[in-house]
Each structure stands twice: as C-alpha cells, then as structure tokens.
Structure 1
Amino acid sequence: MEDVIVSKRKFQYEEEVKANPNNYDAWFDNLRLVESEGDLKVIRETYERAIANVPPTKEKSFWGRYIYLWIKYALFEELKAEDVERTRQLYKYCLELLPHKHFTFSNIWLLYAHFEIRDKNLTATRKSLGMALGMCPKDKLFRGYIDLEIQHREFDRCRILYQKFLEFGPENCVTWMRFADLETLLGDTDRARAIYELAVNSVA
C-alpha cells in the first residue's frame, strides 16, 4: 500500500514539473520523495533536472526558491553523499550562473566560504569572498568575511576589511562602532578613539 502511495505522489510531482518546469516547490516535493528512497543516481539525476530550469527573468524575486535548490543539492553532496569535489563544483557553478550585475545572494557566497573552511581551505575561502566583495559588495558579505577573520584571529585582515567596508558605506554607524569595539578589545584605545573621531566627521 505504501509503495502505491509513493508511486502516485511521484507521478503527481512529475506531472507538475512537466506542466511547469519552474515550479520549484514541486521540485522540492519530488526531491524529498526521491531522497527518502536513497538511490544516489536517481537523486542526482532529479537534482540535475531541477537546477536546469533557470528562471527566465533577471528579477531577483523569481530566483529565491531556485537558489535554494542549489543549496539543498550542495548540502546533500557534502553531508549525505560526502563528495567534497562535487560539492565545490556545485557552489562554483551556482555562483557563475547568478547575474551579479543585477543582483546576488550573499547566503550562497557565505555558504561556499564556510564549506571551504570545513575542508580546511582558507585560501579558497578568502579568494571567493574577495571576489564577492569586488563583484557585488553587500553589508552581509563584509560582516561575514570580518567574522571569519576574527575567528581565525587575523586582526590585521579585519582592519583592512573594516576600512573597505567603511569606504563602501561610510554612513553606517554600526560598522564604525564595531570597528572601534574590535580595537578596544585588542587593547588599542588610541586607535579606537581615532575611529570614533573619524566616524563623527564622516557621519555628521
């Protein structure tokens, strides 16, 4: 009986994606079912079919669910299939696909960065985040990169990133405060004071 129900559901989801290949919710339902069966080849084939359906417009609102397909696929490869190189290629392909001149998704850059950290590849992490800031600078990307360098106790790199962050958004009071807080924690009160003075002049 259970097999019959699963087969009916699978048929229903397949009909839905056949009728509208950009119905990403139907792809998610289909993938959930396929993953529960555990056939690696079928799972990969279904993911590949799903991500082949690129949104037909450069409007960001149409891309959210689609990008989550890529994220789900990458996490499946890393955590379930345990295929590190395939995971890396998925993140790279996804980032190449995004129309960064129109919009980006900070989450995908940061997820890729943290994946490389888990694989103990800090150089690749810095390279990708540096590329992200060059192509599509966003507050979330700056904060994520700075947090990463703080975790690795690379405080000189943090200073450089804060300077670039403030060049990008000098009106952001929170950034000035966090930069000064970092210097205070590092015991450099003179530098912290100078940052506050610069902040007053820049934001005023």
Structure 2
Amino acid sequence: MPEYKLVYFAFRGLGEVPRQLFSLAGVKFENVRIEDADWDAGKRPETPFGQMPVLFVDGKPIPQSFAINRYIANQYGFAGKTPFEAALVDAFADQFKVDFNTEFKKYWYVKQGDEPGDVEEMKAKHGIPARDSFFPLVVKQLKKSGSGFIVGDAVTWVDVLVANATDYITVLEKDLLNDYPEILAHKEKIHSLPGLKEWLKIRE
C-alpha cells in the first residue's frame, strides 16, 4: 500500500473531504496540519501550485482538493461503479464548485467575518441563490437513485463532499437548509457510515 501524507492547514476546510475519504476506506495516512505562521515562513515552495491541500503519495505530490478526492475515490472504490456513474459523480462535484466554491462562499466569508460586507445583503445576493441552485439538483437525483446515495447504490466521494458541506452549513446557520429535509437526511446517512462515523468523533 502506498504511504500517504496529506498536508493542509490546521483546520478542516478543503482538507476535510480527503481525510474523511481515507477514514471511510480504513486507510492510514499522515495528517499534517500546517499553522499559518509556518506556511508564511516557507512551506509554500513544497507545494506544486503554491496552494494546499497537497497529498503526497510515496513522496510524490498531488495538488488541488478535487484531484485529491478523485485519486482517493478511484483507489478505494468511491468513484462510481461504472464509467457513466463516475462521470455523473464528477458532474455533481463540478456543479458544487460552481455554486459553492464560487457563489456561496461570497456570502459565507462575510458571515464568518473573514471579509467585509453586509451579511443579509450577501445572503440574499449569493447565499440563497447558490443554495437553491444546487440542492434541488441533489434532491432530484436522490429521488431518482432511490438508494439514499446521490449516484448509484453505494457511497461515492460526492456524497462525502455534499454531506460535509451540509454539516458545515447547519453548524454555522442551523436553519438555512430547513427547506431541504432530504439533504439533511442524506448527511445523517453518510455520516453514520462505519469509518466515517468514527472519524467524526475524533477529528479536530
């Protein structure tokens, strides 16, 4: 088995889904957490793109969180059972990028105090539209699959991605997803899976 070292900041962020995927697969990995001061002091040159997370596989780096997610998923059976399923998993992940990594974060950064701005204005302009663009697509797909998983009849990395985002949203704004009970139920299902359930108890 390869030796894995996941390097990311000392918080969950973009490093959390890879951590969850390794835990779900029951695979050991070195979980390296970099403090901001260390990053500023010179860790940046160790990363291929000057960004984190980076997954080192036997010492060789893979940058970018979605590439890391796909690598782990392909290695351990979370990418979909067929090429069609794998493409559908990627499609939902890519749509997540559009709605959340591009639009929703404009609201969320302001709400968290990371950026200046009017919280309610940004919620109306970016948060609610992003929510109502993405989650209805997932609800429709969950009904179509009928398995409780987004694609097919087994967990894929997009389930982990969406459940992690759902968890993050409901912790910081518990009522924001009240109109999407199917999404909340999906999060509970994924976070109850063996391996992942145990990780959630001990993660920092």
TM > 0.5 between the two?
no
Q: Which has the larger radius of gyration?
A: 1
**Higher helix content, 1 or 2:** 1
Give the strand-richer structure, 1 or 2.
2
TM-score, length basis structure 2:
0.29
Structure having greater relative contact order (Cα 8 Å, sep ≥ 6): 2
Q: TM-score, normalised by structure 1?
A: 0.29
